[in-house]
Amino acid sequence: AQSVTQLDSHVSVSEGTPVLLRCNYSSSYSPSLFWYVQHPNKGLQLLLKYTSAATLVKGINGFEAEFKKSETSFHLTKPSAHMSDAAEYFCVVTRNTGGFKTIFGAGTRLFVKA
Amino acid sequence: EAGVAQSPRYKIIEKRQSVAFWCNPISGHATLYWYQQILGQGPKLLIQFQNNGVVDDSQLPKDRFSAERLKGVDSTLKIQPAKLEDSAVYLCASSTTVGGVSTDTQYFGPGTRLTVL
């Protein structure tokens, strides 16, 4: 069985400060892990993905995530928040079972204060 | 490259009515997904197609929901009859295949927001 837990439902940061959005997963198989962002009234956009190559994954808009197998974590970070980063972020786990099984986390709402 | 197209963007119906949503995936993408996203929750996979065959519909409420992808391109998701708890955003996504195997990067459409009164 596989699951994904986003540890914070809301995160609030000031503009220019670091962002940390936490995600833990469980999977019986080697998973692929993703972070997607959803701006209000917009579709989901892929930020980055991990597929067992480098453990530190760089994505768009300055975001990156580190896969830590020992901690079963895939936390999303950004050194300096921008107002445009305010959105909902989803951690996603998939595995290929002859068709991908995709599970989304519940989401973390990021607020960025001026 | 055109993205995933969905229509309508918004729909308001009364309970017990029927409704249908349409999705056109990115050209050449063999795999198509329908998700339900209830307010405040992450998307939940309803059904996954590869070409015109169903790969996974384990979370589709088959007593009222149906979906088809007859020609392996665009797809329709139907709810009949709708219930209040079906109010949600319905997202369509697609992904390509390599060597006949779905790749795992999904591209999402803007969604259809359904309100059931």
pLDDT tier, B99 (very low <50, low <70, confident <90, very high otherwise): low
Query: Which pair of structure tokens corresponds to residue B4?
Result: 């995933």
CA dist., res. B113 & res. B37, Å (int): 9
- Which of B4, B43, B107 is opposite residue A104, by nearest beta carbon? B43
Residue-by-residue DSSP string for B50-99:
ETTEEEE-TTS-TTTEEEE-TTSS-EEEEESS--GGG-EEEEEEEE-EET
Could you tell me if B22 lies within 8 Å of chain A, comparing CB atoms? no
Q: How far is CA A82 from the centre of its chain?
A: 17
Question: Could A100 and B43 be called an inter-chain contact, meaning their C-beta atoms sit closer than 8 Å?
Answer: no
What pLDDT, on the 0 to 100 scale, is given for residue B89? 95
Could you tell me if B110 lies within 8 Å of chain A, comparing CB atoms? yes
Query: Which pair of structure tokens corresponds to residue B85?
Result: 């708890």
CA dist., res. A92 & res. A4, Å (int): 7
pLDDT tens profile B27-80? 989 899 999 999 988 999 999 998 889 988 989 999 999 999 988 899 999 999
CA dist., res. B45 & res. A15, Å (int): 34
pLDDT tens profile A40-76? 878 899 999 987 778 899 999 999 999 998 899 999 9
In the beta sheet, which residues pair with residue B90?
B36, B112
Instruction: Provide, as residue numbers in chain B, all residues whose Cβ is less than 8 Å from the Cβ of A51.
Output: 104
Question: Could A43 and B42 be called an inter-chain contact, meaning their C-beta atoms sit closer than 8 Å?
Answer: no
State percent of chain B over pLDDT 70: 94
